[in-house]
Structure 1
Amino acid sequence: MLCLIKGPYLQWPTMDSMTVMWETSQPSSSRVEVLAAERIHSGYQGNYKPPEHRVLSAFENDGDSTIHQVTVRNLEPGMIYFYKIHSENAHGSIESGPYPMKTAVRKGEPFSFTVTSETGGFSGFDTSNGQINIRIFDQMHRYRPDLALFIGDIVNDGNQYEDWETYFFGPGQPFLTSTPSYSCLGNHEDGASWYDDFFAFSPPKNYYSFDYGDVHFTCLDSTDFIPKESYPHSAGPIGPGQAQVDFLIRDLESASARWKIVYFHYPPYVSGGYQVEDLRQLCPIFEQYGVDLVFNSHTIVYERSHPLREGKVDYQEGIVYIVAGGAGAMPEWLLPKREWHTSQSVAVPHLVQVVATTDHLKINAIDAEGRLFDSMMIRKGPDDTKAFY
């Protein structure tokens, strides 16, 4: 009998396309229908309802597979649509949906995204039997972001097939059906092939970049810079001539977005255990090419740095480093007192919500119960000078 195992879930949104993925129990066909979103008006209130019949277009892949990846195209920017998935073979058929999806917004249009991590990395310490993961996903869903970033360790052991459902796709299912997600490799993923199979990131998949609205996002693979054989140190100097560093320089140099955000797993700055100082070799590149915000994880705490540049606090041109070790809390991993670079730090299960406009980034840290516990804003003037609030 044919069954739906994972998803559907959304990947790689652009202004005119969206990639839909899901997994079935047996090889089967892949088909996605895009349906028009119908607006309901009642007095001054308005909302969308799932359409029953208005199929705008349908997309399908040739051949049968168990992990399905279909890109729907010819969509309009910043628009809400609904979608359905279909798979069929000689043993049966499955259908799921309709679910809402929203294409990427144009430059100049505000949007929001959420950030968390450690849905799997915290599992060995979690006494709640996975309830923290569920609460974090529920809180992210509550904020209705346009996309979500997961900063590594989304599973406990990336080589164990079951872990991908237990720690990520299972608890995240209601959220991931309508919210495109991106992630980076953490040490718990262990470079497993399932990562490449389950996500539709741009090759080589362990590092990539994309634009959304006024933000350019760059994903790096810190586990490539810091091999587990030499952790917490790099195998040698990190710099030009290495494929990933050369990619980073080309990528940031050519990026035209107003804001630049980089994310990778190991933190170069944190007042806690598992700080990986060798990754500070990347900071001069971030500074040279105007990076505004860096997200890390690995240490299972929340921490926000002062704006930093050239190893000092700089409220004119500095970069803010945020450790969003979100789906867990390990207060014993914090140092007894904060380091010089730390602005705020606390060990609670959390997510980070960011609202991006042309001239502001508003950053909110929210715990698993929905309480705001840290907030900051970065403002960028017409001449790209920054102010921090």
Structure 2
Amino acid sequence: MLTMIKGPYLQWPTEESMTFMWETSKPATSRVEVMRAERIHSGYQGNYKQPEQILASAENSGYSLIHQLTVSGLEPGTIYFYKVYSQNEQEAAEAGPFPFKTAMLPGEPFSFTVTSETGGYSGFDITGGEINNSIFAQMKKYRPDFSLFIGDIVNDRTNYADWDQYFFSPGKELLQDTPSFSCLGNHENGGSWYYDFFAFTAPKNYYSFDYGDAHFIALDSTDFINNDTYPASSGKFQAGNAQYDFLVQDLQNTSAKWKIVYFHYSPYVSGGYQVEALRALCPLLEQHSVDLVLSSHTIVYERSYPLRSGRLDFKDGIVYVVAGGAGAMPEWLLPKREWFTSQSLAVPHFLQVAVTPQQLEIRAIDHQGALFDKFSIFKDMDGAKKYI
């Protein structure tokens, strides 16, 4: 029987396009239809009627297992619905309609969620995956415009079943209407499935994108700190390294109001698995006024004070947040906090981040929905910051 065994799920939102992906149980064709979302006073889905009018479509008549189609020509910050179809000579399968929203224009507020370690925590998880299910469900309640996953989505990069067990299955309802971005963790590093299942721009292990007033940069810290040198530097923090050169050029070329960088290994955490060698990136990030760095690896929550040049700086500092989310390892924390630590707690969690032209608001929420930390960065028209 032809079935959709992963997805459909959303990838790479832009102001005028969306990419749709899914996997079928057998090789089949691909087709996606995008439909107008018509508001009503009550009814089908979030006060939208059952969609009927097809506005745009894309298809591939070739047979494949993993399907990827992009529909363009859409309006920014607009809700649509979509349906996907696959068929071979004997059978057909379809899914939808599901809603989605194109990316916001600069000047428009938006929000996103952040978590990690959905697979990396699996060896310690005595709940049998209940934490993952809870975190995905809690994130969906916040109706984010997209979600970030800061590595270790799976436990074993070479195990195909891990991708469904730790990510696509518990995240099904979130991922079908919420685009996702991720970066490589040490549990994915060296595996091919990461490159097959995601539609990031090449080379996929590092990339950047704009959304509203923010510029996001995903880095591959497992390349800067690879397995045979961990936790020391592999000597790639220099011109001539492809990823380092990309980072320099990307920071130079963006004029976004907010700059957010994310990668797996944590340069600042008052716990086990801190990778201090990654602090070699900090001067470059400071030079280009990065506002927020998100990392993981240590399975705890931790927020730093604003830091610059290895010191507290409440004028121009960068806030470093460890969002080791889908799990809790209190024994990985040091007995006492380090000098740079503002808040730290080992509980399963995710972040909910709201972005406006003037404010970056970050909330840390546990897997039961309780808020346990909150802070904001304010920025005026001249770029001056205020931290609360």
Could you say which TM-score interval applies, normalised by the shorter chain?
A: over 0.9
1:61 aligns to what?
A: 60
1:284 aligns to what?
A: 283
2:31 aligns to what?
A: 31
Deviation at 1:50, TM superposition (A): 4.8
Please state whether the residue corresponding to 1:343 is helix, strand or coil: strand
| Alignment deviations for residues 318-346 of structure 1 (CA, whole Å, 9 cap, x no partner) | 00000000000000000000000100000
Measured in 1, the distance between the counterparts of 2:46 and 2:269 equals: 43
Please state whether the residue corresponding to 1:70 is helix, strand or coil: strand
Please state whether the residue corresponding to 2:325 is helix, strand or coil: coil
Measured in 1, the distance between the counterparts of 2:13 and 2:60 equals: 19
Measured in 1, the distance between the counterparts of 2:125 and 2:46 equals: 38
Please state whether the residue corresponding to 2:40 is helix, strand or coil: strand
Give the conservation status (yes or no) of the 8 Å contact 2:40–2:49.
no
Measured in 2, the distance between the counterparts of 1:223 and 1:27 equals: 33
Q: Aligned AA for 2:340? A: H
Deviation at 1:235, TM superposition (A): 2.1
| Alignment deviations for residues 257-279 of structure 1 (CA, whole Å, 9 cap, x no partner) | 10000000000000000000000
Q: Aligned AA for 1:171? A: P
Measured in 2, the distance between the counterparts of 1:358 and 1:74 equals: 26
Give the conservation status (yes or no) of the 8 Å contact 2:37–2:51.
no
1:162 aligns to what?
A: 161
Q: Aligned AA for 1:240? A: A
Give the conservation status (yes or no) of the 8 Å contact 2:224–2:236.
no
2:208 aligns to what?
A: 209
Measured in 2, the distance between the counterparts of 1:137 and 1:100 equals: 17
Deviation at 1:47, TM superposition (A): 4.2
Give the conservation status (yes or no) of the 8 Å contact 2:354–2:361.
yes
Give the conservation status (yes or no) of the 8 Å contact 2:363–2:375.
yes
Q: Aligned AA for 1:100? A: P
1:20 aligns to what?
A: 20
2:346 aligns to what?
A: 347
Deviation at 1:113, TM superposition (A): 0.3
Written as runs of structure 1 = structure 2, the 5 A alignment for 1:212-361 is 212-236=211-235, 238-361=237-360
Deviation at 1:92, TM superposition (A): 0.3
Measured in 1, the distance between the counterparts of 2:46 and 2:5 equals: 31
Tell me the C-alpha RMSD between the 2 structures: 1.0
Deviation at 1:365, TM superposition (A): 0.2
* Identical-pair percentage: 65
Written as runs of structure 1 = structure 2, the 5 A alignment for 1:371-382 is 371-382=370-381
Measured in 2, the distance between the counterparts of 1:282 and 1:105 equals: 29
Deviation at 1:212, TM superposition (A): 0.1
Structure 1 gaps, min length 5: none
Measured in 2, the distance between the counterparts of 1:57 and 1:237 equals: 44
Measured in 1, the distance between the counterparts of 2:236 and 2:168 equals: 37
Q: Aligned AA for 1:144? A: R
TM-score by length of 2: 0.98
Deviation at 1:254, TM superposition (A): 0.4
Give the conservation status (yes or no) of the 8 Å contact 2:269–2:322.
yes
2:9 aligns to what?
A: 9
Please state whether the residue corresponding to 1:39 is helix, strand or coil: coil
Measured in 2, the distance between the counterparts of 1:350 and 1:137 equals: 10
Give the conservation status (yes or no) of the 8 Å contact 2:36–2:51.
no
Please state whether the residue corresponding to 2:365 is helix, strand or coil: strand
Written as runs of structure 1 = structure 2, the 5 A alignment for 1:105-124 is 105-124=104-123
Give the conservation status (yes or no) of the 8 Å contact 1:156–1:188.
yes
TM-score by length of 1: 0.98
Please state whether the residue corresponding to 2:199 is helix, strand or coil: coil
Q: Aligned AA for 2:163? A: W
Measured in 1, the distance between the counterparts of 2:379 and 2:350 equals: 24
Measured in 2, the distance between the counterparts of 1:111 and 1:218 equals: 17
Please state whether the residue corresponding to 2:39 is helix, strand or coil: strand
Please state whether the residue corresponding to 2:165 is helix, strand or coil: helix
Give the conservation status (yes or no) of the 8 Å contact 1:50–1:98.
no
Deviation at 1:52, TM superposition (A): 4.0
| Alignment deviations for residues 53-93 of structure 1 (CA, whole Å, 9 cap, x no partner) | 21112211241110000001110000000000000001200
Measured in 2, the distance between the counterparts of 1:93 and 1:349 equals: 40
2:76 aligns to what?
A: 77
Give the conservation status (yes or no) of the 8 Å contact 1:35–1:51.
no
Give the conservation status (yes or no) of the 8 Å contact 1:106–1:213.
yes
Measured in 2, the distance between the counterparts of 1:103 and 1:329 equals: 34
Q: Aligned AA for 1:156? A: N
The alignment covers a number of residue pairs equal to: 386
Give the conservation status (yes or no) of the 8 Å contact 2:111–2:355.
yes
Please state whether the residue corresponding to 2:97 is helix, strand or coil: strand
Structure 2 gaps, min length 5: none
Measured in 2, the distance between the counterparts of 1:146 and 1:271 equals: 31
